[in-house]
Amino acid sequence: MSDGSGEIIIKGASVHLEFNGAIFIKDPSDPKKHDSPSRKITQIVVADQDGVEKFNSGENPGGLKWTVTVSTK
């Protein structure tokens, strides 16, 4: 189960996005983007509203290349 300790957290049904602004610095050329070039995604955990884990990539110290797209209406 995800304990919510990740550096980036996306929650729904309404949209709630959390990230550490000290780690993910705003891109001065595009205020919609935040970046941390020295960090890598090492694990992705997806849990439902009850905290039941639905997906866990496992720990990948070398980094993962992922795109997570969340659509809203």
pLDDT digits (tens, 9 = 90+) for 24-38: 999 999 988 999 989
Average pLDDT score, the chain: 87
Which residues are bridge partners to 27 per DSSP? 30
Full-model pTM: 0.73
Give pairs for 65-70: CB < 8 Å, separation 24+: 65/41, 66/41, 68/10, 68/44, 70/10, 70/12, 70/15
Asked whether the predicted pLDDT for residue 4 surpasses 80, the reply is no
H or E stretch at 64? none
